[in-house]
């Protein structure tokens, strides 16, 4: 039995039944990280000593395996989420040595539930990117083909889960940064409704879009991780005070009779034929499971990329203004005055993509351009949100591709930011609308690269999205396949 290929719920069953000890499980993952991550660069830092102390508490009886479904299970956490006393870099030189003095809300939840954090996963700098090539600590690589990207910005989390370097992980999704890397790496990635999971302790990129969610080996694990992390938090003003359903309980319900919408704007020229074929076969599988397929329209989809790349950089420009070399983080030396210190610190601390977005965001917020750009983009965002509300009057959920392409070669799109941005064309609208979405493995290309099916649901209906994903997953073998990274 290969421990590191098992989903969270199977690892926990073995721990709770006494068949394995927490130290045995953790040691297996740490050994695998040591041997495999040299090729993947999925982690920025590992927490081996602290994790081993936690595992020993379980084995000594001071902590209880039955306290939660993640108790004693090794997990990864994206390096944009604060962990008390642990370096949190956001993939950037400007925070290379930043150690937060507190835990993020989701970190607290994982610790309270007994999850063992094994490391901080690699990411695009400040979550700005679709390939994890923008990390100051080097690119992560896709375990299915190490010459290719794992997606981004949560590429480290997706690569770590796919390669068995942790049983599950947390990522963040601003415009597709959970769903797209999950699709590229052949794992499950869930973006909850905006407001379902607290953002307290999440280093902000675009505050009206950022959302934390799980990346896991199967849908049941995603339900488990969401159950642990979801819920109201008074420290986050955007956290919504609504009851949290029993996500795991909903998984067994059939999808027979559900109306599943197929948005015509998501099946367009430019999508790779092998991706289109895999997604259409997945949709047919849902029909065979008893769902009714209906064509719907999301007419403002074509404006999603333009609106996103005004709104998100504008918010990033505001959020990243705090990194000035004064309070914390990098401070460049050799400056003769304050203004030069600001300039040198930000020039040396930020990478090219972050600088590009700060400049773009500052421009669209500047006097004379705010109404022409930011206000107009916000109005388009409202139209996109209304498109989803209208579509959900005609169907229960939507089925679509996650990305128009499978994982691309490292460096292939680096010199063409627009082509990189277009890889998020199918994920950005859901982020702008704030609806929940999941990527679930639905096939492979002829080059043996994973393809993901995207399932989108109405606000706060993650239980429905998980139910559809689980029923599809149980009818197909794709989630059982692992990359041959050894």
Whether the Cβ atoms of residue 196 and residue 238 lie closer than 8 Å to each other:
no
Known catalytic residue at 78: yes
Whether the Cβ atoms of residue 432 and residue 209 lie closer than 8 Å to each other:
yes
Known catalytic residue at 120: no
Q: Which of 68, 78, 120, 413 does the annotation list as catalytic?
A: 78
Whether the Cβ atoms of residue 88 and residue 98 lie closer than 8 Å to each other:
yes
Beta bridge mates, 304? none
Q: Which of 177, 198, 431, 439 does the annotation list as catalytic?
A: 177
Q: Which of 153, 239, 403, 439 does the annotation list as catalytic?
A: 153
Distance between CA atoms of residues 65 and 437, nearest Å: 31
Closest CA to 76 of 115, 41, 114: 115
Closest CA to 121 of 72, 159, 83, 167: 159
Three-state DSSP class for residue 209: coil
Residues 6+ apart with CB under 8 A from 295: 261, 262, 264
Distance between CA atoms of residues 151 and 136, nearest Å: 16
Q: How far, in Å, are 23, 387, 394 from residue 263 at the CA level?
A: 48, 11, 11
Nearest 10 degrees: CA dihedral of 225, 483, 13, 20?
-120
Whether the Cβ atoms of residue 292 and residue 189 lie closer than 8 Å to each other:
no
Known catalytic residue at 153: yes
Element (H, E) at 44: strand 43-46
Distance between CA atoms of residues 304 and 298, nearest Å: 11
Measured on CA atoms in the order 219, 224, 228, 232, is the torsion positive or negative?
A: positive
Closest CA to 172 of 158, 187, 186: 158
Residues 6+ apart with CB under 8 A from 467: 250, 251, 253, 255
Closest CA to 279 of 442, 123, 479: 442
Three-state DSSP class for residue 292: strand
Which residues are part of the catalytic machinery?
78, 153, 177
């Amino acid at each position: 039995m290969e421990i590191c290929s098992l989903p969270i719920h199977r690892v926990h069953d073995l721990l709770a039944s006494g068949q394995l000890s927490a130290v045995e499980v953790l040691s297996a993952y740490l050994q695998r990280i040591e041997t495999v991550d040299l090729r993947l660069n999925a982690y920025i830092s590992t927490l081996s000593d602290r994790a081993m102390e936690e595992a020993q508490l379980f084995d000594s009886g001071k902590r209880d395996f039955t306290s939660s479904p993640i108790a004693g299970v090794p997990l990864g956490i994206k390096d944009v989420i604060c962990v008390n006393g642990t370096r949190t870099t956001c993939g950037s030189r400007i925070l290379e040595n930043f150690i937060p003095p507190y835990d993020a809300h989701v970190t607290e939840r994982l610790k309270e539930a007994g999850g063992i954090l094994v490391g901080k996963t690699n990411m695009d700098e400040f979550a700005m990117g679709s390939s994890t090539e923008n990390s100051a600590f080097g690119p992560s690589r896709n375990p299915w083909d190490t010459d290719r990207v794992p997606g981004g910005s949560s590429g480290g989390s997706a690569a770590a889960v796919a390669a068995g370097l942790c049983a599950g992980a947390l990522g963040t999704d601003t415009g597709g940064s959970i769903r797209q890397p999950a699709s590229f790496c052949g794992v499950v990635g869930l973006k909850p409704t905006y407001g379902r999971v607290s953002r307290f302790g999440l280093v902000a990129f675009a505050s009206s879009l950022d959302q934390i969610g799980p990346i896991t080996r199967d849908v049941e694990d995603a339900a488990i991780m969401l159950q642990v992390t979801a819920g109201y938090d008074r420290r986050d003003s955007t956290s919504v005070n609504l009851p949290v359903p029993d996500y795991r309980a909903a998984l067994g319900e059939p999808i027979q009779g559900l109306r599943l919408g197929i948005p015509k704007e998501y099946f367009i020229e430019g999508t790779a034929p092998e991706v289109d074929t895999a997604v259409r076969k997945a949709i047919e599988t849902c029909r065979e499971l008893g769902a009714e397929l209906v064509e719907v329209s999301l007419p403002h989809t074509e404006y999603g990329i333009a609106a996103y790349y005004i709104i998100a950089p504008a918010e990033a420009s505001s959020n990243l203004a705090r990194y000035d070399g004064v309070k914390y983080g990098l401070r460049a030396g050799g400056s003769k005055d304050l203004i030069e210190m600001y300039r040198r610190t930000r020039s040396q601390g930020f990478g090219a993509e972050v600088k590009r977005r700060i400049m773009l965001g500052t421009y669209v917020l500047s006097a004379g351009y705010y109404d022409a750009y930011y206000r107009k983009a916000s109005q388009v965002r409202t139209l996109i949100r209304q498109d989803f509300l209208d579509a959900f009057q005609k169907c229960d959920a939507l089925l679509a591709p996650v990305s128009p392409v499978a994982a691309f070669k490292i460096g292939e799109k680096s010199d063409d930011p627009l082509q990189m941005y277009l890889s998020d064309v199918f994920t950005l609208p859901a982020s702008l609308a704030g609806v929940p979405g999941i990527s679930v493995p639905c096939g492979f290309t002829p080059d043996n690269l994973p393809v993901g099916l995207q399932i989108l649901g109405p606000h706060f209906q993650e239980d429905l999205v998980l139910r559809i994903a689980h029923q599809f997953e149980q009818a197909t073998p794709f989630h059982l396949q692992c990359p041959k990274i050894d």
